[in-house]
Amino acid sequence: MTGSSALMAIGHIFFCYILFFSFHANKPFVYGTGVVEKQKSRALPGPARGLKVFHRFGPSSPSGHKKSSATSSRVLVQDERRVKDFYSTIYNRERNVRIRAHDPHFGHTVGAGNYIIEVRLGTPARTFNLILDTGSYATWVRCQPCLQGRCPEQQEKMYYPSCSSTYLKAPCWPSCNYSQSYYDKSYSSGFFVLDTLAIEPFQVPNFAFLCAQNYSESFGEASGILALGQGSTSTSEPFGVYSLVSQTATTFDKVFCHCLPTAENSAGYVYFGKEALEKCQNSGTYTPLLTNPGNPSLYYVNLIAITIGKQRLEMPSVSSPRTIIDSGTVISRLPSSVYSKLSSEFKELMSNYPVASSDGILDTCYDLQGHYNYTIPKMVLHFENLDVNLDQIAVTWRRENSSRVCLAFAGADDLTIIGSEQLQKLNVLYNIQDRKVGIEPGNC
């Protein structure tokens, strides 16, 4: 390298350093609290307010993928990895296994990533397709801190801090670094930054999220994760205050709702604050949102029984919360003892149809070829103070263009997870401030 070229390289590095670590350094900082409503918000397709949600294999999916036999198999494999990660993390914490402060576990294996949400970041705002996840609390986006040349005019998967006039460095600096390895060998690493997040018709200035410079390809076409976990102020969760729920608490009162569409439907939605209360109107019946000190960011509730057909199956009594609502898990998991009874009842009610082979983790399956007027058993989830009638599509799992139908539940240890397959087409209203959850039929 010549002397002049070396000097130019050093100058470029110095420029990037100054740009990234000192940009807007003298501006006052308050992260995620000064939410303002736009005077004139640009009309967006889908819900005019809130955020749009797409099924990864739906007709309007940004990925353009269609559900197939191969993708169905992959979904079930990835789902099992996520659940194993959940179990490992939860049990380790309950056994007081120390989590290193420099290696916080604020997320889980992304799993199938079945739901994509459109998010607008920066100024000028750029749209990113992120995986919706209520099981983690820190949002992250693929990022390139120092961009050479002009800012791209076309939409890309990458966030460029230097291309946004509202970018700031996070207040945790210089200890903002984060590195996360997941159960399935996937990973992401980077550091926290601040920028404007648009939630129509609001803008959230100084929203803290992870600028992920390094990440595995297992996240697919998504640009990152939008985390809707509760967050935490615990010292074992050093970035727990960076949850979207916490950052917007003064404006949205820690209230949001979602409706997850099926693979056949166009789009669902996520609303926040008063908008959530209006759009996801509730009959007034809620189930308590419980607290588990070992995992304060997760959404724990009390599932007390399940009715299939006319048979009511009681859940085992436990001393601590053991049921989690998680959008990132696909197939709901039940304690082995309960699942065994549920499977037996399902078999009894489906005895008029020929038995089919298992489908991955799903071991209760039937071949409905030639059966055009088949009947799927009715199912009700009985939470404390709240009964939820499941749609037929939420009771079974079916591959694209396949006659095989399987019970969409699986057995596990003593932890219960209510996954997205059972949450489809339902308004799930999280009122964290008042510690309650409402679940009723939605409009997606």
CA distance 112 to 76: 8
Please give, one letter per residue, the 3-state secondary structure of 255-271. EEEEEECCCCCCCEEEE
Q: Which amino acid is located at 57 in the chain? A: F
Q: Which amino acid is located at 319 in the chain? A: S
Name the residue among 80, 49, 60 with its Cα closest to residue 328: 80
Are residues 284 and 306 in contact, defined by beta-carbon separation less than 8 angstroms? no
List 85, 184, 326, 359, catalytic entry: 326
Name the residue among 342, 146, 121, 366 with its Cα closest to residue 244: 121
Residues 6+ apart with CB under 8 A from 405: 356, 365, 366, 368, 374, 376, 396, 397, 398
Name the residue among 76, 78, 112 with its Cα closest to residue 358: 76
Residues of 297-317 as b/e, b for ≥16 C-beta within 10 angstroms? bbbbbbbbebbbeeeebebee
CA distance 361 to 366: 15
Q: Is 363 a catalytic residue?
A: no
Q: Is 414 a catalytic residue?
A: no
Helix runs in 223-323, H state only: 244-247, 249-252, 273-279
Name the residue among 140, 105, 116, 142 with its Cα closest to residue 217: 142
CA distance 306 to 312: 6
List 85, 133, 195, 359, catalytic entry: 133
Rounded to a whole number of angstroms, the CA Rg of the chain reads 23
Helix runs in 53-207, H state only: 69-94
* φ, ψ at 89 (rounded to 5°): -65, -50
Token representation of residue 219: 């996240």
Token representation of residue 84: 């194993």
Token representation of residue 10: 């050093």
Q: Please give the positions annotated as active site.
A: 133, 326
